[in-house]
Amino acid sequence: MLNLQGDYGVTEVPVKTDGWLANQKLNEVALSDEGIIVLGITRKDGTYIGAPDGETQVRPDDRLILYGRDTALEQVQKRRLGLAGDLEHDAAVSEQKRVVQEEKAKEKASGSRNEEDPSHDTAS
Protein backbone atom coordinates (compact mmCIF):
# COMPACT_ATOMS: atom_id res chain seq x y z
CA MET A 1 0.00 0.00 0.00
CA LEU A 2 2.92 2.36 0.69
CA ASN A 3 5.11 3.04 -2.33
CA LEU A 4 8.08 5.24 -1.48
CA GLN A 5 10.59 6.23 -4.12
CA GLY A 6 13.86 8.09 -4.19
CA ASP A 7 15.20 9.29 -0.89
CA TYR A 8 11.83 9.59 0.86
CA GLY A 9 10.78 7.56 3.85
CA VAL A 10 8.60 7.22 6.91
CA THR A 11 10.07 7.07 10.39
CA GLU A 12 9.03 7.22 14.01
CA VAL A 13 10.76 9.92 16.04
CA PRO A 14 10.75 9.85 19.84
CA VAL A 15 10.36 13.26 21.46
CA LYS A 16 12.89 13.81 24.22
CA THR A 17 11.99 15.83 27.30
CA ASP A 18 14.61 18.44 26.41
CA GLY A 19 14.23 18.02 22.64
CA TRP A 20 13.60 20.73 20.07
CA LEU A 21 10.08 19.45 19.36
CA ALA A 22 8.91 19.08 22.97
CA ASN A 23 6.24 21.38 24.38
CA GLN A 24 5.55 23.16 21.09
CA LYS A 25 2.59 23.18 18.73
CA LEU A 26 3.14 21.64 15.29
CA ASN A 27 2.56 24.99 13.59
CA GLU A 28 5.33 26.49 15.76
CA VAL A 29 7.95 23.93 14.69
CA ALA A 30 6.85 24.22 11.03
CA LEU A 31 8.17 20.86 9.96
CA SER A 32 6.22 21.20 6.71
CA ASP A 33 8.60 24.02 5.74
CA GLU A 34 11.32 21.37 5.83
CA GLY A 35 9.27 19.06 3.63
CA ILE A 36 8.28 16.85 6.57
CA ILE A 37 4.69 15.76 7.08
CA VAL A 38 3.46 14.61 10.49
CA LEU A 39 1.31 11.56 9.78
CA GLY A 40 0.46 10.81 13.39
CA ILE A 41 1.44 11.02 17.03
CA THR A 42 1.45 8.24 19.60
CA ARG A 43 1.18 9.58 23.14
CA LYS A 44 2.97 8.02 26.12
CA ASP A 45 -0.35 6.50 27.28
CA GLY A 46 -0.85 4.83 23.88
CA THR A 47 -3.38 7.31 22.54
CA TYR A 48 -2.94 7.83 18.78
CA ILE A 49 -3.64 11.10 16.98
CA GLY A 50 -3.94 10.54 13.24
CA ALA A 51 -3.27 13.47 10.89
CA PRO A 52 -2.73 16.02 13.69
CA ASP A 53 -3.35 19.67 12.90
CA GLY A 54 -1.09 22.65 13.55
CA GLU A 55 -2.62 23.33 16.97
CA THR A 56 -1.61 19.89 18.26
CA GLN A 57 0.89 20.17 21.12
CA VAL A 58 3.94 17.91 20.94
CA ARG A 59 4.63 16.43 24.36
CA PRO A 60 7.76 14.88 25.81
CA ASP A 61 7.71 11.11 25.30
CA ASP A 62 5.43 11.38 22.24
CA ARG A 63 6.40 9.38 19.18
CA LEU A 64 5.88 11.25 15.90
CA ILE A 65 5.33 9.34 12.66
CA LEU A 66 6.95 11.49 9.98
CA TYR A 67 7.21 11.37 6.19
CA GLY A 68 9.90 13.23 4.26
CA ARG A 69 13.34 13.07 2.72
CA ASP A 70 15.56 10.64 4.62
CA THR A 71 18.21 13.28 5.32
CA ALA A 72 15.61 15.72 6.69
CA LEU A 73 14.15 13.01 8.94
CA GLU A 74 17.61 12.17 10.30
CA GLN A 75 18.36 15.83 11.01
CA VAL A 76 15.14 16.51 12.89
CA GLN A 77 15.82 13.53 15.17
CA LYS A 78 19.18 15.04 16.16
CA ARG A 79 18.00 18.63 16.46
CA ARG A 80 19.11 20.45 19.59
CA LEU A 81 17.03 22.69 21.80
CA GLY A 82 17.39 26.46 21.68
CA LEU A 83 19.09 28.77 19.20
CA ALA A 84 21.22 25.98 17.74
CA GLY A 85 18.09 23.98 16.91
CA ASP A 86 16.38 27.03 15.46
CA LEU A 87 19.37 27.66 13.20
CA GLU A 88 19.36 24.01 12.13
CA HIS A 89 15.65 24.38 11.29
CA ASP A 90 16.38 27.50 9.20
CA ALA A 91 19.11 25.63 7.31
CA ALA A 92 16.74 22.70 6.71
CA VAL A 93 14.07 25.06 5.35
CA SER A 94 16.62 26.55 2.92
CA GLU A 95 17.67 23.06 1.85
CA GLN A 96 14.03 22.08 1.24
CA LYS A 97 13.53 25.14 -0.96
CA ARG A 98 16.60 24.13 -2.97
CA VAL A 99 15.32 20.55 -3.34
CA VAL A 100 11.89 21.76 -4.49
CA GLN A 101 13.48 24.04 -7.11
CA GLU A 102 15.66 21.16 -8.32
CA GLU A 103 12.65 18.81 -8.54
CA LYS A 104 10.65 21.42 -10.47
CA ALA A 105 13.54 21.93 -12.90
CA LYS A 106 13.79 18.16 -13.49
CA GLU A 107 10.03 17.92 -14.01
CA LYS A 108 10.07 20.81 -16.46
CA ALA A 109 13.01 19.33 -18.38
CA SER A 110 11.31 15.94 -18.49
CA GLY A 111 8.11 17.52 -19.80
CA SER A 112 10.04 19.36 -22.51
CA ARG A 113 11.69 16.12 -23.68
CA ASN A 114 8.33 14.34 -23.86
CA GLU A 115 6.85 17.16 -25.97
CA GLU A 116 9.77 16.94 -28.42
CA ASP A 117 9.67 13.14 -28.70
CA PRO A 118 6.16 11.67 -29.13
CA SER A 119 7.53 8.18 -28.38
CA HIS A 120 7.55 9.23 -24.69
CA ASP A 121 3.79 9.71 -24.65
CA THR A 122 2.62 8.85 -21.14
CA ALA A 123 -1.11 9.12 -21.92
CA SER A 124 -1.46 5.43 -22.76
The pLDDT of residue 37 = 96
The pLDDT of residue 118 = 54
Summarize pLDDT for 108-124 with one digit per residue, the tens: 888 776 665 555 554 44
The pLDDT of residue 50 = 96
The pLDDT of residue 124 = 43
In the predicted model, residues of the chain with pLDDT beneath 50 are 122-124
Domain ranges of the chain: 8-114
DSSP one-letter string for 28-64: HHTGGGGT-EEEEEE-TTS-EEES--TTPEE-TT-EE
Domain 8-114 fold: Alpha-Beta Plaits (3.30.70)
